[in-house]
Amino acid sequence: MNWNDCIERTHTHSVKWSTAPDEIIPMCIADMDFQVAPEIIEAMKKKAEHGIYGYTTFCQRYYRSIIGWWKKRFDMEIDQKWISFSPGIIPGINLLLELLTKPGDHVIVQEPVYYPFYSSIENQDCQIVRNLLVYNNGTYEMDFNDLEEKASHPKASVLILCSPHNPVGRLWTEAELSRVAEICLKHNVWIISDEMHGDLVYKGKRHHPLFCTHPNIKEKSVICAAPSKTFNVAGLQTSILMIPSEELRCRYETKLFQYGLMRPNAFGVEGTIAAYESSEYWLEELLLYLEDNLNYVMDYFQKNIPEIIPIQPEATHLVWLDCTQVGIQGEDLFRYFLKEAKIKFDPGYKFGKSGDLFLRMNIACPRERLEVAMKRIYEAVNKVK
């Protein structure tokens, strides 16, 4: 793979690139500026050349590729019948909340967090309950006492867990997850565990699937996963929901049918198989490249832009930037860098009030582009002084 290739993405209907006018470097939206594994391209070509893109269904090989991946990467056994489908993680979360809540219920999130969760909760007329993460000494931790208090409320019905956590990059430990599971089980609160970044972990780190952290949690939780982030195939719109509870799974599948969402994209099954069966080596190379990019960025901020403190991520290709010392906040902070640096970040305030002084930066791009971006950030910060 040539990770240094700057592949043109403008005029390809890319969300990330089409929302960034000329000259702007988009460092927002969590997809990557890298070409996918050749095995996935081959599978797509074969499908394209077949020339018929009719209604599509799943096959044994598709299920086996998912089961094999989770066994190999996380040593987790999956029963095939748990595996259900969603065109994306967010549609899956929306449908699950429709099934697990009633209007007025409390749904807990750990702010700052991936902001579409908030709209998913509001869509159901539920109340967003914020179990704020504690920011201390450049890292984030869970506040378990507060979680317990919120979970014990009679209206608390679901916790949406982000594991690994977007945007703060924490890879929750087995002990932390087991405690979350314990609290939610005690108070009869479901956990929707969004694990879609679980493959993007840095050297020496390990993602712990929620099901492996507590013996009783499977029947009271759902894992959301996908090849989307791992293999840069979000546009194939093929996501996986693991629902061990038979009762919930049946209701979920009925919902999928009701909304006509039960069939995958014509390219999604082949893409998923090619990713999980044949592209692990690509992921290993990607992780090394991302680690180099991350080290470069962390070092650059420390040496040249001390006003911005990057939070060291343990996972994800996203870096959460503490811009407190820049002296601008909220939407103004986002707009300042858009105008002065011509960099489009994800605005921190969207992740919750506790993100007001932050920006989120996507480092999954060729080094050359990252170097231009860092220089522009440096110059923009110097202009504020």
**Contact residues: ligand PLP, CB under 6 A:** 30, 88-90, 114, 162, 166, 194, 196-197, 226, 228, 234, 239
Strands 318-322 and 309-311, by their bridges, are antiparallel
Nearest to ligand PLP of 297, 318 (CB atom): 318
Nearest to ligand PLP of 151, 168 (CB atom): 168
**Shortest distance in whole angstroms from residue 142 CB to ligand PLP:** 16
Q: Which of helix, strand or coil describes residue 371?
A: helix
Residue 220, classified by CB atoms within 10 Å of its CB into exposed (0-12), middle (13-18) or buried (19+), is middle
Contact present, 111 and 354 (Cβ < 8 Å): yes
Nearest to ligand PLP of 101, 166 (CB atom): 166
**Shortest distance in whole angstroms from residue 170 CB to ligand PLP:** 12
**Shortest distance in whole angstroms from residue 327 CB to ligand PLP:** 29
Sign of the alpha-carbon torsion through 361, 365, 367, 369: negative
| Cβ-proximal residue to ligand PLP, closest one | 88
Residues 163, 183: Cα–Cα separation, whole Å: 16
Residues 242, 158: Cα–Cα separation, whole Å: 16
Residues 341, 325: Cα–Cα separation, whole Å: 17
Nearest to ligand PLP of 157, 239 (CB atom): 239
Nearest to ligand PLP of 88, 347 (CB atom): 88
Nearest to ligand PLP of 47, 197 (CB atom): 197
**Shortest distance in whole angstroms from residue 63 CB to ligand PLP:** 19
**Shortest distance in whole angstroms from residue 10 CB to ligand PLP:** 21
**Shortest distance in whole angstroms from residue 128 CB to ligand PLP:** 16
Nearest to ligand PLP of 165, 187 (CB atom): 165
E strand residue ranges, the chain? 25-26, 83-86, 106-109, 127-130, 134-136, 139-141, 156-162, 190-194, 221-225, 239-242, 309-311, 318-322, 343-344, 346-347, 358-362
**Shortest distance in whole angstroms from residue 201 CB to ligand PLP:** 14
How far is the CA of 186 from the CAs of 106, 133, 142, 180, in angstroms?
16, 21, 18, 10
Cβ neighbours for 45, distance < 8 A, ≥ 6 positions apart: none
Contact present, 105 and 127 (Cβ < 8 Å): yes
Nearest to ligand PLP of 187, 317 (CB atom): 317
| 56 token code pair | 């599509």
**Shortest distance in whole angstroms from residue 299 CB to ligand PLP:** 25
**Shortest distance in whole angstroms from residue 226 CB to ligand PLP:** 6
Partnered with residue 224 across adjacent β-strands are 194, 241
Query: What's the start-to-end Cα distance of the chain, in Å?
Result: 41
377-168-85 Cα angle (round to 5): 115
Nearest to ligand PLP of 226, 256 (CB atom): 226
Nearest to ligand PLP of 142, 380 (CB atom): 142
**Shortest distance in whole angstroms from residue 306 CB to ligand PLP:** 29
Helix axes 367-384, 280-304, angle to 10 degrees: 20
